[in-house]
A and B are shown apart, each in its own frame.
Chain A
Amino acid sequence: MKSLEKFDKKKLKKIKPDIIFPIFGFFALFLVVSFMFTLVLDVFLDGFEKLKDPNFYTSFPSRFPEKAGILSGWVGTLLVMGGAIFWSLLIGIPAGIYLEEYAKKRGLIGKIENIIELNINNLAAVPAIIYGLLALGIFVYRFKLGESILTAGLTLSILMLPVIVVNTREAIRRIPRDIREAAYAVGATKWDTIRDHIFPYSLGGILTGLIIAASRAIGETAPLVTIGALTFIAFLPPNPITSDFPYLSLTKFWEVLMSPFTVLPIQIFNWVSRPQAAFQINAAAAGFILLVLTVFMNALAYYIRQKVRRKYIW
C-alpha cells in the first residue's frame, strides 16, 4: 500500500508540469491574439467617425482635419502598386524560372547562379529603408526620374522581388519531373515545356506569392518617405485613357508616371505626426482601411494556396 501511494505521488509530480505548462503556453497565445484584437479594435473605434463619412473617400488632404480625405492617397496607392506589380513580375517570374529550370550548377555559369541564389536570399533580409536609399541614390538622383510614381513603383518592386522569386521557385519545384520528360519525349523544346506546362501549373503558387508580396508592399512607408513622397497632394494625375483610338495617350501616360504622388501609408504617417487630435482620427480611419486591405489580401492568398493544392495532386 505504502509503496503504491509513493508511486502515485511520484507520478503526480511528473505529470503536474505537463498540466501547468500548457496553461502558460495557451495564456501566451491568448496574449498575442488579444494584442492583435486590441490593435484592430483601437484603430477601428478611433477612426469610426471618419470611416462612415463618404466625403472622406472622395476628398483631397486639407489643412482642416474635418475636410481632409484620402482621395489622392488611394489613387496613389493604386498607381504605385500597379507599377510595383508590373516590374516585380517582369523580373521575378523569369528569374525564378531560370533558377529552377535552367540552372546548370556547373562552371562559370554555375558560379553566377550560386551568386544569384545567395543574393536573392540576402535581398529578402535587407531592411526596407535601405531600398529607399538605393532608390533615392539611383532612380531619383542618378537616373533623374524624380520623386515620381515611376520611382515609387520601381522601389516597391525591388522589395517584392525576393518573395516572388522564392514563391515561383517553390511552385515550380512541386511539378514532378515526369511532366518535363513527357514533354521533351514528344519533341517539345524547353521553352515549349515552360510555356505550355511549367508556367500554367505553377501559376497558382506564383499568384499566392504575388499577393503576399503586394500585401507587404501596400503598407510599406519607410522607403517611400526616403524617396520623397509628398504628403499634400491636392490633384490627381491626368487620365491617360482617351475616347478614340488607340484609347491611350502615351504622353499623358508618361505624365502619370512622372507625377508626384502620395500613398495611404504616407498620408497616415503625416496625420499621426500632427499634434491635433482631429487629424489622428483621420490616421486611424485610413489605417483601418489599410489593415482591411492587408487582411483581405492575405486571406485571398491563403484561399488560392488551398485551392491550388487540391487542384494539382501529383
Chain B
Amino acid sequence: MFASLGYKRILDKLMLAVFFTAGFITIFITIGIVYVLLADTLEFFKEVSIKEFLTEKEWTPVFATKKFGIWPLIAGTFLIAAIAMIVSVPLGLLIAIYLSEYASVSVKEIAKPIIEFLEAVPTVVYGYFTLLFVTPLLQKIVPDLESFNSLAPGVVLGFMILPYTASMAEDAMKGVPQRIREASYALGATKLWTAIRIILPASISGVIAGFILGASRAIGETMVVAISAGMYPNLTLDPREPIQTMTGYIVQIALGDLPFGSIEYLSIFAVGFTLFIIAFVFNSIALWLKSKIREMY
C-alpha cells in the first residue's frame, strides 16, 4: 500500500512538471517570434540602412532599382484602418447603445451571435466579397473608383471589426451598475440622455479599448487587403487608388519563391517587425484601458 502511495507522489510531481512545461512552452513561442523577427530584421538592416527605411518615400523591392522606404506601406495600412474606423465607430456605438440601453432580451440574443460571427467568417471569403461585390457596387456611387482601391476593403473591414467596436463596447456599457442608471432616471433624464451623458462617460475606457482592439485587427488583417486593395505601394490618401499594406506586401513576396536570406526574404521580416510593434503598442493601450475599468467599480 505504501509503495503505491510513493508511486502516486512521484506521479503527482511528474504531472506538475508536465503542466509547468506546457505553460513554459507558450513563453518560448513569444521568444521565438521576437527572435525570428529581430534576427532577420537586423540582417535586413545590414543591407539597407535604417535611415533609408524611415526616410525614403518609395517602396520598390521588386524593381531593378530597389528602394526601401516603409512609409507607403504604413500609409496604406493606416488609410484602410482609418476608413474601417470611420465606418465602424459610429455604427458600433449606435448598436452598442441600442443593445445595452434599449433592446429587449430576445433582440439581444439574436443580435449578439450574429455580430460575433462577423469575426468568424473566413477572411478570404470577405476578400472575395469585397473584390467582386462591394467594389463594383461602390463604383456605381463613387466615380473614378479603381477596381483595386482602399475604400472597399476599408468598408468591409469596418463591418468585420464590429465584434470589437459594437460588442465589446456594449459589454463595457452593460458593466455600468444599474443603480447609476436608476439615479439618472430618477432625476428625470431620458434614456438617451442617460446613455450618452452618464453611461458612455462611465464606460468610456472600455469602449475605447474596444475601438483600439478593432483598429489593431484592421491593421493586422491580411487577406481582404491582399485580394482587393492592389499590390501598389502608393503614398496617397486617396481612397480610390490602389495601394499596398504591410500585410499585403508580405503576402505578395511570400507567394513567390523565397530563397533563404535574400533581400526579399529579409524585407518581409522587417515589415513584419514594424507591424508587430504597431500591433503591440495598440494592444498594450487597450489592455491598460481595460484594467482601468476594473479599478473604477
B19 to chain A, nearest CB (A): 4
Complex contact B124–A127 (CB within 8 A): no
Contacts of A134 in B (CB 8 A): 29, 32-33, 36-37
Q: Which of B26, B111, B124, B126 contacts A116 (CB 8 A)?
A: B26
Scan residues 18-37 of chain B and give those whose CB is less than 8 A from a CB of chain A.
18-27, 29-30, 32-33, 36-37
Complex-state Cα separation, A25 to B120, whole angstroms: 23
Contact: A119 with B30, CB < 8 Å? yes
Cβ–Cβ contact B128 & A190, under 8 A: no
Nearest B residue to A25 via CB reads: B98
Could you tell me the distance in whole angstroms from the C-beta of B18 to the nearest C-beta in chain A? Answer: 6
Q: Are B8 and A25 closer than 8 Å at their CB atoms?
A: no
* Of the residues A115, A194, A294, contact of B15 by C-beta under 8 Å: A194
Binds B, one of A50-58, A60-68, A265-273: A265-273
Q: Which of A38, A101, A142, A222 contacts B251 (CB 8 A)?
A: A222
Residues of B contacting A91 with CB < 8 Å?
Answer: 22, 25-26
Q: Identify which of A26-34, A233-241, A246-254 touches chain B.
A: A26-34
Q: A191 with B37: in contact, given A26-B98, A91-B22 (CB under 8 Å)?
A: no
Interface string of A109-143 (1 = CB under 8 A from B): 00011011001111101111111111011100110
Interface flag for B283 (CB, 8 Å): yes
A255 at the interface (CB under 8 A from B): no
- Give the A-B pair count, Cβ closer than 8 A: 262
Q: Mark B74-101, 1 if CB is under 8 A from A, else 0.
A: 0000000000000000010011011100
Give me 8 A-to-B residue pairs in the complex whose CB atoms sit less than 8 angstroms apart, sorted by A's number. Answer: A32-B162, A33-B114, A39-B125, A121-B287, A123-B29, A215-B120, A290-B122, A295-B117
Extra A-B contacts (6), CB below 8 Å, given A24-B98, A128-B222, A291-B121: A18-B190, A25-B103, A95-B23, A122-B283, A189-B9, A302-B113
Binding site for A on B (CB under 8 A): 8-9, 11-12, 15-16, 18-27, 29-30, 32-33, 36-37, 39-40, 91, 94-95, 97-99, 102-103, 107, 111, 113-115, 117-118, 120-129, 131-133, 159, 162, 166, 188, 190-193, 213, 216, 219-223, 226-227, 247, 250-251, 254-255, 258, 260, 268-269, 272, 275-276, 279-280, 283, 286-287
